[in-house]
Each structure stands twice: as C-alpha cells, then as structure tokens.
Structure 1
Amino acid sequence: MKFFFGCLLLALLLGTYSYSYAQTGMSLITGKILTEKHIPAEDATVTLLSFPDSAIVKTTTSGQTGVFKFDNIVPGIYLLAIHKIGYSKYYTGQYHLLAGKTTAIGELTLSPVNQQLGEVSITAKKDYIQVQPDKTVLNVDRSILSAGNSVLDILTTAPGVRVRDNSILFKGGQKALIAINGKPVGNLTDDQLADLLKSYQSNMISQIELIANPSAKYDATGGGGVINIILKKSKDLGFRASIVESAAYGQDYKFSSGINLNYRTDKFNFFGNYSFADNKLPRLLDIDRNIYDDNQLTNIGVDYNSTSYTKTNNYNAGVDYSITPKQTIGALFYGYHNQAGIDKSSSTYIRNNGSLDSILTTQSHVDRAITNLNYNLNYKGTFGKNNGTSLTADFDYSTYDRSSFELINNYFYLTNGTPYRAPLFYTDNSPSSINIRSERIDFSQQLSKSSNLSAGLKNNQVNSDNTIAFNQGSDTTNFLSIPSLTDHFIYKERINAAYAAYNDKFGKSDLTLGLRAEQTSSYGKSYHPDKTVARSYFDLFPNIQWIQAVDTNNMLSIGYDRRITRPNYQDLNPFVGFIGQYSYSTGNPFLKPEYYNVYSISDLYKDKYKVELRLTVTQDMFAPVYEQNDSTKIYVTTLNNIGTRYEYEAEFTIPVDVTKWWNVNIDLDAGYAKYIYNQDSARKSTYELNLQLNQSFTINKGLKAEIYGFYSSPTYYGIKQYKAQYAVRAGLSQSVLHNNGSIRLMVTDIFNSDEYQYTSNYSNLDLTGKEKVGSRFAMLTFTYRFGKSSVKGPSRRTGGNVDDQKRLSGSSNEN
C-alpha cells in the first residue's frame, strides 16, 4: 500500500511541476529511492552534480515515500549521487534537463554496504578513492597516475597495500587474496602473481575493491583480506567502445595498446576487451654473504643484472542473455599469453679474510612462454515476492601451460683474469601444466524485511604436472643429464567447501554471522628421488561483522575473521633449481598452511574519515629462508613454517579538501609486529610506519594534476630487516574531443628511489641485499571513448572459480 501511494504521489508531483516549470523556463528532476528490499528509502541524501566537473549544485533528502526532487534547475547535463547510512554510495546519470520540462528518472535501488565482491552499478564520475565501512573502492579511471599502467603498478599506490618482493600485502601486513570479477586468480607464487597482474592494463579495469573482512561466501584464502579487480563492462544500451594507447620511456621502455567493446540490447549483452603490452625492464641485484668457518671469514658477493623483454596479449570476452527479466545465463572467456626473453649476467667475487681469491662470471638467456585460459558458464535467477530468493551457479575450467628453457654459461677466473678451470655450460628445461575445474552454487533467501540467509557449496579440483631436465656440458653442444637436478613432480588437490551466512538489520545495526567449512585433500609425488606426500585436513572459518550507526556522522564496525593461506603448487614442488654455483632453490613438500585470526574495530566519520584498529595473529607463518652450509659455502632458498607472528595496527584514512581545487587523501598505517620463531625459541619485534599521500589539483575545467608519494619506515618482515623506502610520481590530464578523450602525461619514481635494501641474520646467515627494478619512466597515454550512451543499470556477473589460479606455477618474470 505504501508503495502504491508512493507511486501516486510521484505521479502527482510530476504533473504539478511539469506544468509550473513550463511557465518559467527552468527545469525539475524527480525520482524515488528504494532499499534492496524494494521499500522506500527515507532520509537518503541526494546530491545534484553538474557534468562533467561533478561540482555540487544542490542537496536534498528523500521523504517517507522515498521521493526526492530538485526544482529551479538551470537546463543542462547533470549527475546524481545518493547516500544513506548502511548503504553503498550510488551514482547515476547523465540526465539532460530541458527548459520548462520535468525529468522523471523513476526508481533507484540502493545496495547494503555488506554486499562484497558483488554487483556494481556506478555510472557517474566519482572520487578515485571511496571509503566505506567494510571496504575501500578505487575508481581507476579517475586517477591520472593509473593511466597506461598495469594493475600491479596501481596496487603499489593503493591505500593500505604494500608490494614487497612481489608479495602483495594488505591488512595485517599479510598476503591478500587477489580476485578478478569476484573470482580468485589461483595459487600463484609471488613472482607468478606479479606477472599475471602486469598483464592487466588500467584501460581494462573499472574498479579495485580493497576488502578487509570478506564474508563466508568467499574462499577462506588470504590473511590480508581480498583485493577484487573489476573489469570494465558497460551498462549502457547500444554500442560503446574505448581505445587506449600508451608509451613510456626512461629506464628502457613500456608500450601498451587496448580496446574495450560493449554492445547491449534488452536481452543480450556482448562485451570484450583486448590489450597488448611490450615492455623492456632492467633489474639489478647485489647480494653479499659473510660465512664463518674454521676461523676463516669468506665473503661471497654477487653483482647481478638482467633485462627482460616481455610481450603480453590479454583478452576477455563474454555474453549475458536474459531468459526472463529475473533470470540470466552467461558465458565468459578470458586469459593471457606471455612471451618473455630474459638476458642475465652476474659476477661473483670470492674473498677470504678480506683478500680477493677468485671471480666467477655467468651469462644466460631464458626463453619463456605462459598461456592461461579460463572458461566460465554461469546462471543467476531471482524468484518470489520482492525477489526475496536468489540462486546462482558457476562452472569454471582453467588451463595453465608454461614452457621455459635457459642456457647458462659459467666462467672461472683468478684475480689476474686468468681462467683457473674449464668453463661449465648448463641447460634448464622446465615445462609445467596445470588444469583446474570448479563447480559452485549459491542460494539466498530473504527471511524478513530486514534479515537474509545465504548458503552455498563449492568443489574444486587441481591437477599439476611439472618436469625439470637439467643438463651439464663442457661446451654448448654436448650435454649430459644431472640426476640430482632432474625430476618429475605431479600434484593433485581437491577442496570441498560449504558455507552459511545470516544477515539482519535491526534499528541502526547491521549484523552478519558466517561460517565456512573446507575439506582439503592433496597428493604430491616426486619421481627423482621417489617421494610421496599425502594430506587431508578439515577447517572451520567463522566470520562476524557488526556495523552500528552511532549517529548521523559515525559508523562503527567490529569484525572477526579466520582465514588460511595454502602453499602454492610450486612451493610444494621439491625440484632443486640452479641459481648459481653457490646458490640453489627448492620447494618444500612438507610445508603446512598458515592460519590467521583477524580482530578489527573501526569508525567511519561523515563517510570520509576512517580510523581502524586491527590485530592479526598468524600461526605457522611461512616465509623464504636461506639454509646455508658453512663448509661448502652453498645456500639453498626454500619456504619454511618459521613460527607465529602478531601484528598490531592502527590505520587512519584522512581526505582533506584544502581548497575547491586541491584535494588530499592521506593514508597512515602504524604498526608493531612480534615474531616468535620455532627455532631455538628466538623472538623478534619491529615497529613500522607507512604513509601514502595522494594529491589532486583541478587547474581548470579540462586540466587536472595529481601527485602521489609514499614513505615506509625501516621494518622487519619474515627473516629480513628492510631499510626505509620512498618514491614520488606525478601526472597531468587534459580532456579533449568534447570530453570523449583525454591525454595524460606521467612521470614515475621521479627521484629514482624505489628500491629494496635489506639484511638478514637468521640462524647462521649474515646477508646483505639490494634490489632495484627499472621504475623511472615518462609516460604518455591517450584515451578515446565513443558510442551510444543511454543509461540502464543491469547487474554485473562474476564467475565462481577463484582461489585456484593464484596457486598456479610458472613465471615469465623470474629474472
């Protein structure tokens, strides 16, 4: 009945105001706001924004029936921004207001803030960083410094995110679960995940969601929460397209080209994008080790440099079909092909008691190719009164194939440059193949106007086949196999999962309770030597989140989450990999998962300012360690469960409008971490401070500027003590072609300061290291958008196979 009278009132308003404003030449816009339960949203704040600069024109609130209106509006093009406590901000437009006419936009439906990795319907211009009680959203198109960059580059500037040694750390300084359109990307190593994220260019990305406390619906993997990357998918009827061209020059070069296409009708939505990237990047690495044995000090210093030539083709295509207005089926296909060549050279200096003894030089070349293909079939339907029942289903199949061949030449010299032994030549051939199959079904039932129950099942199966053939020869033509470095490893894993979650809104409170159960069975077999490891374990992962609207300005959130990080497939692979004459790497088939308990409390003030206190306890933490033999001087890099880590954090998000044309976003993260090692009851503690400053300037209507800088204090992580780190980048953006295009100029790492310097004194190790990847570039990016624009907001569809691709093996960036 309320809904009927609301519609009647809306009709009366339309009739009255269309008559009165026809006499004045001014315009009027009106509409109605509903909650996700399709009931009127009272006291929602509605802001009218001018287009294209998003300047605030007027603000009002919706009445008891959800109706709002703006009158006495100068004819023109406008946007609407809608906000209500407990719901995500909603943007819509563009609306062309004509003189003396009334524009009725109909009903607009809000989404609760606890809907994560779900549907996104944002069509208007907005801030780059949007802070919400349960997540932070990055609107990639709004950042000048994102243009022409990869997703990995963007994440290095994301608030609260740290990229260290290609590890992507988020809440609690722990690794985050990376998802694409709500689908975790599988269990990759750090280098492999970095390589995947480099294949996605910014022109393919709509938003990035940073979610600290994901609900039980999503895989329990990732102690640092979830980073969800949402690909572009137009919500406009008709044909829409955009092209992006980018080129950078500095420490070598970067080039990328991309196109986004979308065609939507009432029944069908066809979408796709393609990007090509061609990069040449240098990498420098200096490592010094002091080894004490029999009253002699031996120093081994390695000066390493490499240049990688990488060409990546990334593609994404799909179709959605509306069987009925409430039921949709879809198909997705996405993947990438990466072709890389890496030239490596290094010099190893051996000193005994301070005197140079000998020199080893190594040159090698790697040819590597990776192809990752992903297929998804999906269904989504809503049923019952007020669409109170929903059902979704996904079937996913993924393939990952890697080929890698390396030729390694080693030469041995005395201090005067005379060879003291014959050179050694090696070949390393290490192909890998992984297949992943996943089925998932999710059910949701509205129990009342304020409560909801959801449940789901998921099955995931992985088969991995890896081979390494390592050969040695006295020249570059005749080689013999080295049995200790040649192996065949197969790995199979199955994870069965079930979850249930209950959500209820009462008064000004929003409570979510969830429980996820996962049964994991795995089997790994190495043939040389013959070694088999089989495991089976069952885990429960509770999730609690309570959001309380304290008053009109403050939103309090309290959460608890238990999560897991399983070793990726390659980390369990016992292959012994040759790095140099004195360094090797190997997997650890006995590596156990690490578990996280995360406790948090936060306050969001005026939907802008946020402070969060957080405790993360990591049990069975695993990290890279170096096992050194003092007699042979050889050290082996592997992963071990090193102990328990306690991380106490306070994070502050502070946006400041200095002037109308100067805006600053400050993210300050202060922490204290304590390590309790399994070995000899050793302990280590450290303080950490991370500051990120993002400034934007509106110079005139079409010209904008942006400056980003970060500082990380000295800190300790795993078994390494890191020195302070900082970097600055800046850019300009100019709108062109009637706001359908833009030209952006950016300079990254202006002071060429973005590098890692560290030491390690773990166990018998005494190591100092410095690493720098080419990071200073001047980049020019051109973007052009064309096609029809008639706003309609359909749902965004995601697949169901997530946690698996992140655990894949192989890399094209191991340089």
Structure 2
Amino acid sequence: MPFSTLININSTFCRVARYLLIGGGVVAPLAMRAQERAAVTGTVGSAAGAGLELVTVALHRATDSVVVKTEFTNATGAFRLEAAAGERYLVSAQKVGYKRYWSPALVLPATGAVLPAISLLPSQAVALKEVTVAGRKPLYEQLADRTVVNVADSPLAAGATTLDILGRAPNVTANGTDELALRGRQGLLVVLDGKRVPLTGSDLAEYLRALPAEQVQSVELITNPPASYDAQGGAGVIIINLKKDQRLGANASLNVSYGRGRYGKAVAGGSLNYRRKNLNLYGTYTFNDRQYYTQFTFGRHFMATPTLPATRSNQDTYQYLKQLTNSAKVGLDINLSKRTLLGVSATGLTSKTTSETTSDAFFYGDGGALADRVYSQTEQDVSRPNGAVNLNLRHTFADSATASVISADADYARYRNARQLKLDTNHSSPALGPTELTGDQRSTLSIGTAKIDYSQPLPHRARLDLGAKVTQIASENGTVFYNRTGITPSDYKYVVLTDISQPFTYHENVNAAYVSLRSNLAKTTLQAGLRGEQANIRADLSGASVREQHYFQLFPSLLVQHTLNKNNALSLSVARRIDRPSYLQLSPLRVYLDATSYSAGNYSLLPQTSYNFEVSHTYKGKFTTALAYARTNQPFVITSQPSPDGDRVVVNQYVNLSTQNFYTLNLIAPLQLTKSWTLYANVLAYYNQYQGMLNTTVLDRGRLACNLTANNSFALPHGWTAELNGFYESREVGGFQVLQHRGQVGAAVQKVFWHKQATFRLNATDIFYTTPLRVTSTYDDFMESFYRRQDLRVVTAAFTYRFGNNKVTAARKRTIGADDELRRAADSQ
C-alpha cells in the first residue's frame, strides 16, 4: 500500500474518532432513553434476628445464574445492589458457618425492590463445603474486555516464577529471545501492581523470572485497552496484580517452597498487614534463590564475501546461572475523610545474577576441512537494584454511587544495572594466542510521572472519563571494554576498545491526555475514546551523533457491545496504537553471550504503529468466538546477522520491516464437565505475514499457526484440589525466524488444612520435557538454526501458613496510577 494512502487512512481514522468524541453531546441524550437502573435492598440476619456484617450478597441473572453484582452487608446487615430495571434476577446470601440462601426469582421494577428480611441458618457442614468448593475463584474468568487468571489459587503457581505462570496463560507465548506475545503478537504493555514494567525482550523475561509467583494475586490479559491506558503496546496489555491482605486486624503469612530440576530453586517469604477502619499498613518480602541452565546447539552457514570464503559452523554452548533476588513492598493507606483516601507505597527488587558460559565452535570451509576451532569461557556478574515510590490520592465528591471521582498519582522510579564481563577465547586450529575481553557496563534509568484522572457519571448509565499525564525519563549508559595483550601475566596490558566503549544517553518526555465516553443503552454499550500523546525524544551516542524526535499523535478507540437476546451478544472494537523502541533496542552497547555472538541495539530503529480491529460473539455469557485483524506499519523484529566487523561473529538486534498483517480466530470454552471437574479450553488460530527488506534479503513470508491451551481443575475428596494444564504451540513465523512446534504438560495437587490457615502444594512442570525451542533464521548471505533447552522440568513442594484475624473487609478500589510510563528501559536492567 502506498505511503500516501496510509497517511490518508490515518488522517481519516483520526477525524472519525474526533467526531465520535465530539458527538458525546449526541450520545448522552440518546442514553437518556436507556433503561433505568434500580436497586434491590434488604437486610440479612441470624436466626436470632441480629444483623450479620460482611455477608456476601450477590445478584444473579435468573436465566443462567451469572453474577451481575456482589456486595458485603454493613454493620447492621443491610445491603444494596444496583442493576438494570425490568430484568429477572435471583439474590443469594452466604457467610461461613451458615447455609446459603437463595431468593425466588423477581423482576426488578424501575422503582426498586425491598426484599423481606433474610435469616441465615447455621450449618457447619454446609459452611465447610462452601469454603472448599464454592468459595474458590475459578482459575480463569472471561470478562467482556479481558481474560483474568486467578493465580493465587493455582497449585501450579507454587515455587514458580511470574514468567512461568504467564507462559501457561491462554494466548501468551514467548519467542526465541523470550519476548512475550499476546495472541501471537509482540509489543506489549506490562503493568505490575499498577506500575508499568520498564523492560522488554529478554530483560523483561529476567525481571519476571526474578519475581516469585507467590506474590501474584491475578493476571489480566487485555487485547484492546481503553484510552485511559498508554497508547504503547500494539498487542495489548498484561496486568499483574500482587497479593494484598484484606483481613481486618493484624495478620501475617509465611511461605516456603523448594523445587528441583537439574538444579535447585528455593523461595521463602512472608507478609504483614494491619487493617482497621481508617488505616491499612502492609508489607511483603520474598527471597528467591534459583539455579538453572540454558543449553544451545547452533548451526550456522556464512556465505562467501569479498574478504572471507563460505563457512559453516557447529557450536555447543552451555550456560549455568545462579540468581539471588530480594523483593519487598511496604505501603500505607489512610482514610483522610469519609470520601478521601491517601496512599503511599515503596517497592524494591534487587537481583544478583552470576553466570558461567562455555562454548565450543567448529568452523569448516567449502571442502569440509576444519578451518578453525574457537573455545570460549564467559563469566558475567550482573547486579540490578531497582526501586520505586508512589503517592496516590482518591476523592469521591458525594456518598452516592453515582458521585464523581478524582484521583491523582505521582511516581518516581530508579533502575540501575552493573554488568561485569570476562570473556576468554582460544583458537586451537590453527593455534593462536589466547585473548581476553573484559567489560564494565553501568546504566541508570530515572523515571518520574504525574497523572490525574476524573470520572463523571452522567444520567442514565453514561460516564465521562478524562485524564492527563506527564512523563520524564532519563537513561544514562556507560561501557568500557578492554582487550588484553601479552602472552604471560607479566606482559599483560589492557587496551581500551574505544570503538565499542561509547556512552549512550536517552531522554524522553511524553505529555498525554485522554477523553472517554461510555454509554449503556438497553441492550447496547458504547465506549469511544481518544488519547493524544506528544513525544519529545533525544538520543545521544558518544556526544558525536545526536538524534531528536518531536511528534504528536492521536490514538482513537471504539468499543460497541450489543446483546441480541438472552443467549447471544456481539462486540466490536477498533483502536490505533504505537510501540516505541525500548532503550535496549536502541542502545548500541553490546551484551556478549560468548565469543561468537552478542546482542546490540539499533540506533536507527523507528516506532511501529498499528490499527487493530476485532469482532466477537458470546454465547450464554461464556462461550466466545473472536475474529481480529491488525496491520502494523514499520514493525520491528529480531534478526541474526554476521557482524559488520568482517569476522564470523553474529549480531542479534532489531530492525524495521515494511508491514505486518495479522489475522486471528480465537475460541474460548469454559466447561463444567462434572460437578468436580472444570475445563477451560482455548483455541487460537492465526495467520502472520511480514513484508520488508534487510540488506539484500527480501522478506514476504506468511504462515498459518495455532495455539491450544487446556486447563483442568478438579475438586477431590477430603478437601484436596488438583490441576492439570497443557498447551501446544504449532510451527510459526516471526519475521526472519521460523519457530518449530512445542508444548508442555504440568500437574499439581493442593490441600488446605488447619482451619484454612495452612496450604500444601505439590506440582510438576513440563513433565514430558517438550518445551525445548528450535528456531531457524534464513537470509541471502547467512542462515542460523539453534536448539535451546532450559531447566523447566521441575518438581516443587510448597507450604504456606496464615495467622491472624480471618475477618475480611471490602478492598479499597485502587487507582492504576502511573500504570504505563515504564516499559522501554531495557538497557538499565
């Protein structure tokens, strides 16, 4: 498609979005004709007549018992549930130690309904059953705009890392460099506990590998986020919510786990929480000691150049890693008044990784004769101390459920990285003198953000959201590489390699604002949003090459949901998004694996923009079929190419292609096969096509692929639960790469005992060891294939003990805060 045509499409798309938003003045009056909301009110008490506090009262659709609204009763046992008038509902009430209550079906009138007083009868047997079966959240929940994975209750999460649980989530995959993808597409916004993770690619994978799954409450997967989220992340958003104790009074928990694959993996931690009516003070800490390996088998073919003959090589590389991490979070929430909440929190994650890599490479000439043998040993010591603080304020302007709300967040984060390298290389055929390369790499990233959001409910179930955010980022990166000369230690001299010891600085300022209008008609929900972002970027390489960018872009989004009848609903979403290159993808500083390969950024890398379209159908509120298309301009993909230095060293870096066309069909089926067996099945079929050119290699490649995920949950006798998870990824295309099929099967059991205070978990992952990855990259002048194996077949035992008050209070609804400022700071990690 001609570039001028794309510009016209972009301009037209943005004008249409402006009209949609300006047309809010038209949508609001239409909403006036929408169906009114009404309230169901009542009280819940004991058989003796005393009001019961903190009873869970739920409003269900009468047709299929799907929960519409849930609330807790107050101190007097009163409750209030709002929903659309004119529909048929059921009301349920449950509390530990009492029989569950169900009301007769009722039609909710526009004037509201008052239920007769509800009396709960004590029943210890029923209470225990509710705790062990009905009280547990399903592992997967399919909501209107996202998929929720409730990690906290999964026995497979014991002893795992956050990267492990994401790898088992439906539609989440990783390529040969551990870059995460959602529905087969890369370019994600990752939000951890309301804050954006400042990493991409392998650095993001290392960060998530350092974060124990024991700290994670849930994961949310959103393919088309609203305008309130940053425009970064063409493929969507992954939200990782950490655990937070909601029990009243003083509470604590301790957890410990040990897993064994080829090496050991130990996790220990705990949490403290003190909560009363107007105050919540909390803290968590986890220590992680993990040892693992990565093993590569490379095959490479170098075509002849004017200075070098054609060569092929075979190589075996083995890397041992030991990682020690300490992660902690402390926070304080205060009710300044009945409607004003103030929160402050601080998080920290320190990671110390040491690795030893041995590599043996054999190079052969055209005739098959051995031309060179290169043996190298690489030692690296990487320290990553990271920290962030947040201050947030939320104020509700009235006690009514339809009151306006304003929230503000201020964040400051600092990420440091210190990498020490020692690379010894020996050429044995022909014999050459040994060489030693040492490196001292240090980087610091500072990020400051300020954000404000305002939500104004409008008459008749409409809502207007507004917000603005300012982000300031400064990244300072310095590297000094030394080459050792001399034969004996007395002759050693270290010479600075000035051509690769270049400082790199990056400064970015993004000013953003958004407006979003949501209207709920009788059977239709409409949400239109527009986000504007002004970016000011300056990249400075060695003080000699300066690159500046200043641009403003609009990112419209539209979501329409329509209920056809009680069993069928349709949804349509359209959005424009952007992916700016990460700092690692831009920085030319080198990170060595061994003597034959290193990774480096591409100083000339440009942002990629995408248009995303999706239409979905939902049957009976749970079976979903979704068709989607995305077109990305200037997509960046990972490449492997011979170094321009003229040697046989391979460089891994990102480059821009011309276009990417991506078509998907997604089928989701949550099934209750028996009373105790739940299956969540997910099928994703997609066609991925890349077009572009790298040097003399013209790429026009597409392939049909599929991902299958099946998670089985079982309620076993005597309070045991079990989980069986499996996924399969077919052969797929990723730019110049072709990734072969792979899969995994994991199983786990769990037992809760000692009056729900203790939990024991036992799991086994990658039981058949089917996750090793095979990747082939093909270019006109070079071809590479590799086979990667990792320490993923692990058996883990875990124990958790909770003590303190078991009384639960309603959780404070926290704002996302600076949820989207931090993704692309990879070089400092």
TM-score bucket of the superposed structures, by smaller chain: 0.7 to 0.9
Q: What residue in structure 1 maps to residue 248 of structure 2? A: 237
Distance 2:397 2:627 in 1: 40
User: Are the counterparts in 1 of residues 407 and 815 from structure 2 also a CA contact under 8 Å?
Assistant: no
Distance 1:761 1:371 in 2: 38
Within the alignment, does 1:303 sit opposite 2:316 as a pair? yes
Q: What residue in structure 2 maps to residue 89 of structure 1? A: none
Q: What residue in structure 2 maps to residue 113 of structure 1? A: none
Distance 2:418 2:39 in 1: 64
Q: Which moved more, 1:419-428 or 1:581-590?
A: 581-590
Q: What residue in structure 1 maps to residue 13 of structure 2? A: none
What do residues 115-169 of structure 1 show as CA deviations (whole Å, max 9, x unaligned)?
A: xxxxxxxx95210101111111111122111122111110011011112231111
Helix, strand or coil for the counterpart of 2:245? Answer: coil
Q: What residue in structure 2 maps to residue 118 of structure 1? A: none
The CA deviation at 1:254 is 0.6
TM-score of the aligned structures, taking structure 2 as reference length: 0.85
Task: Find 1:783's aligned residue among 786, 797, 800.
Answer: 800
User: Are the counterparts in 1 of residues 99 and 123 from structure 2 also a CA contact under 8 Å?
Assistant: no
Within the alignment, does 1:605 sit opposite 2:619 as a pair? yes
Task: Find 2:716's aligned residue among 699, 711, 731.
Answer: 699
User: Are the counterparts in 1 of residues 267 and 287 from structure 2 also a CA contact under 8 Å?
Assistant: yes
> Any unmatched runs of 5+ in structure 2?
1-35, 60-67, 72-79
TM-score of the aligned structures, taking structure 1 as reference length: 0.87
Task: Find 1:166's aligned residue among 167, 175, 178.
Answer: 178
What do residues 79-117 of structure 1 show as CA deviations (whole Å, max 9, x unaligned)?
A: 99xxxxxxxxxxxx989xxxxxxxxxxxxxxxxxxxxxx
Task: Find 2:648's aligned residue among 628, 633, 643.
Answer: 633
Helix, strand or coil for the counterpart of 1:155? Answer: helix
Q: What residue in structure 2 maps to residue 107 of structure 1? A: none
How has the CA–CA distance of structure 1 residues 77 and 558 changed in structure 2, closer, same or farther, with 3 Å as cutoff?
farther
Helix, strand or coil for the counterpart of 1:193? Answer: helix
Task: Find 1:361's aligned residue among 375, 383, 392.
Answer: 375
Q: What residue in structure 2 maps to residue 343 of structure 1? A: 356
Helix, strand or coil for the counterpart of 1:145? Answer: helix
Q: What residue in structure 1 maps to residue 123 of structure 2? A: 76
Return the letter of the residue paired with 1:159: P
Q: Which moved more, 1:431-440 or 1:761-770?
A: 761-770
The CA deviation at 1:296 is 5.2
Helix, strand or coil for the counterpart of 2:782? Answer: coil
The CA deviation at 1:505 is 0.7
Helix, strand or coil for the counterpart of 2:202? Answer: helix
How has the CA–CA distance of structure 1 residues 647 and 316 changed in structure 2, closer, same or farther, with 3 Å as cutoff?
same
User: Are the counterparts in 2 of residues 45 and 62 from structure 1 also a CA contact under 8 Å?
Assistant: yes
Return the letter of the residue paired with 2:482: N
How has the CA–CA distance of structure 1 residues 79 and 129 changed in structure 2, closer, same or farther, with 3 Å as cutoff?
farther
Return the letter of the residue paired with 1:755: P
Within the alignment, does 1:489 sit opposite 2:504 as a pair? yes
What do residues 753-810 of structure 1 show as CA deviations (whole Å, max 9, x unaligned)?
A: 2111011113422111111221111100111122112232132324522333321234
User: Are the counterparts in 2 of residues 573 and 588 from structure 1 also a CA contact under 8 Å?
Assistant: yes
How has the CA–CA distance of structure 1 residues 792 and 466 changed in structure 2, closer, same or farther, with 3 Å as cutoff?
same
Identity of aligned residues (%): 27
Distance 1:744 1:19 in 2: 40
What do residues 471-512 of structure 1 show as CA deviations (whole Å, max 9, x unaligned)?
A: 011367531111112111111010000100001111111110
Task: Find 1:131's aligned residue among 128, 142, 165.
Answer: 142
Distance 2:236 2:643 in 1: 38
Return the letter of the residue paired with 1:248: G
The CA deviation at 1:620 is 0.7
The CA deviation at 1:240 is 2.5
Helix, strand or coil for the counterpart of 1:198? Answer: helix
Return the letter of the residue paired with 1:726: G
The CA deviation at 1:237 is 2.0
The CA deviation at 1:77 is 6.3
Alignment of 1:448-527 (within 5 A): 448-474=459-485, 478-527=493-542
What do residues 33-68 of structure 1 show as CA deviations (whole Å, max 9, x unaligned)?
A: 97999845554444567869x999857556523556
User: Are the counterparts in 2 of residues 440 and 458 from structure 1 also a CA contact under 8 Å?
Assistant: yes
Q: What residue in structure 2 maps to residue 116 of structure 1? A: none
Q: What residue in structure 2 maps to residue 667 of structure 1? A: 682
Task: Find 1:774's aligned residue among 791, 797, 807.
Answer: 791
Within the alignment, does 1:271 sit opposite 2:282 as a pair? yes
Distance 1:267 1:560 in 2: 42
Q: What residue in structure 1 maps to residue 28 of structure 2? A: none
How has the CA–CA distance of structure 1 residues 581 and 600 changed in structure 2, closer, same or farther, with 3 Å as cutoff?
same
Distance 1:733 1:266 in 2: 34
Q: What residue in structure 1 maps to residue 208 of structure 2? A: 197
User: Are the counterparts in 2 of residues 77 and 94 from structure 1 also a CA contact under 8 Å?
Assistant: no
User: Are the counterparts in 2 of residues 31 and 67 from structure 1 also a CA contact under 8 Å?
Assistant: no
Within the alignment, does 1:216 sit opposite 2:248 as a pair? no
User: Are the counterparts in 2 of residues 204 and 231 from structure 1 also a CA contact under 8 Å?
Assistant: yes
What do residues 360-394 of structure 1 show as CA deviations (whole Å, max 9, x unaligned)?
A: 11012111100110011110001147252111001
User: Are the counterparts in 2 of residues 284 and 772 from structure 1 also a CA contact under 8 Å?
Assistant: yes
Return the letter of the residue paired with 1:10: G
Task: Find 2:187's aligned residue among 159, 167, 175.
Answer: 175
Return the letter of the residue paired with 2:519: D
Return the letter of the residue paired with 1:420: A
Helix, strand or coil for the counterpart of 2:163? Answer: helix
What do residues 385-407 of structure 1 show as CA deviations (whole Å, max 9, x unaligned)?
A: 72521110011000011111011
Distance 2:116 2:253 in 1: 34
Return the letter of the residue paired with 2:195: K
What do residues 196-218 of structure 1 show as CA deviations (whole Å, max 9, x unaligned)?
A: 21232222111111112111011
Distance 1:285 1:727 in 2: 19
Return the letter of the residue paired with 1:323: L
How has the CA–CA distance of structure 1 residues 63 and 450 changed in structure 2, closer, same or farther, with 3 Å as cutoff?
same
How has the CA–CA distance of structure 1 residues 421 and 154 changed in structure 2, closer, same or farther, with 3 Å as cutoff?
same
Distance 1:307 1:334 in 2: 29
Helix, strand or coil for the counterpart of 1:196? Answer: helix
The CA deviation at 1:653 is 1.0
Helix, strand or coil for the counterpart of 2:450? Answer: strand
Alignment of 1:428-447 (within 5 A): 428-447=439-458
Distance 2:155 2:257 in 1: 13
User: Are the counterparts in 2 of residues 334 and 375 from structure 1 also a CA contact under 8 Å?
Assistant: yes
Return the letter of the residue paired with 1:179: V
User: Are the counterparts in 2 of residues 41 and 66 from structure 1 also a CA contact under 8 Å?
Assistant: no
Q: What residue in structure 1 maps to residue 303 of structure 2? A: 292
Alignment of 1:339-738 (within 5 A): 339-353=352-366, 354-384=368-398, 386=400, 387-414=402-429, 420-474=431-485, 478-527=493-542, 530-628=544-642, 632-679=647-694, 682-738=699-755
The CA deviation at 1:282 is 0.6
Aligned residue pairs total 755
Distance 2:47 2:167 in 1: 51
Q: Which moved more, 1:318-327 or 1:693-702?
A: 693-702
User: Are the counterparts in 2 of residues 171 and 225 from structure 1 also a CA contact under 8 Å?
Assistant: no
Distance 2:716 2:683 in 1: 27
Helix, strand or coil for the counterpart of 2:168? Answer: coil
User: Are the counterparts in 2 of residues 49 and 78 from structure 1 also a CA contact under 8 Å?
Assistant: no
Distance 2:93 2:138 in 1: 15
Task: Find 1:744's aligned residue among 745, 752, 761.
Answer: 761
What do residues 304-358 of structure 1 show as CA deviations (whole Å, max 9, x unaligned)?
A: 1111110000111111111111111110101200011111110111111222222
Return the letter of the residue paired with 1:242: S
Distance 2:691 2:361 in 1: 35
How has the CA–CA distance of structure 1 residues 427 and 403 changed in structure 2, closer, same or farther, with 3 Å as cutoff?
same
User: Are the counterparts in 1 of residues 444 and 828 from structure 2 also a CA contact under 8 Å?
Assistant: no
CA RMSD between the two structures: 3.1
Distance 1:480 1:72 in 2: 84
Distance 1:31 1:749 in 2: 39
Distance 1:44 1:298 in 2: 73
